[in-house]
Amino acid sequence: MLERINKRALENENFRNDDNSSILKNRIIIYKKDTMPVIDYYKNLKKLNTINGMQSIEKVSRDILNILWWYKKVDCVFLKITILDLFGLNRS
């Protein structure tokens, strides 16, 4: 994974100073420590939807909209609160 990300960073014209293997390794550690428990939590509640981010932008967008549309029909308030919580924006 490190090789793939390093290659992608080198191919990108917008190289960032924090795109290096040391920073990337730390991001992976933080992801496993902080993000994976949230993913597992929602997976256990059967409220986790996943999307293949390696698809085209159009396909990813369509998949997101399909999920959002389904939740809008089921429970718009739950979705809004969940999204705000995930991004740390729910201050109510």
Q: Which burial class, exposed, middle or buried, applies to 46 when counting CB atoms under 10 A from its CB (0-12, 13-18, 19+)?
A: exposed
- How many CB atoms within 10 Å of residue 35? 11
pLDDT tens-place string over residues 33-87: 999 999 999 999 988 899 998 888 888 888 888 888 876 665 555 555 555 565 5
Residue 65: per-residue pLDDT: 84
Q: Are residues 92 and 61 in the same domain?
A: yes
CA distances from 46 to 6, 32, 71 (A): 34, 20, 13
Q: Under a CB-based contact definition with an 8 Å cutoff, are residues 53 and 60 in contact?
A: yes
pTM exceeds 0.85: no
Closest CA to 4 of 57, 61, 71, 54: 54
Q: Are residues 43 and 78 in the same domain?
A: no
Residues of the domain holding 58: 49-92
Q: Could you give the number of structural domains in the chain? A: 2
Residue 15: per-residue pLDDT: 64
Residue 60: per-residue pLDDT: 87
Q: Are residues 18 and 57 in the same domain?
A: no
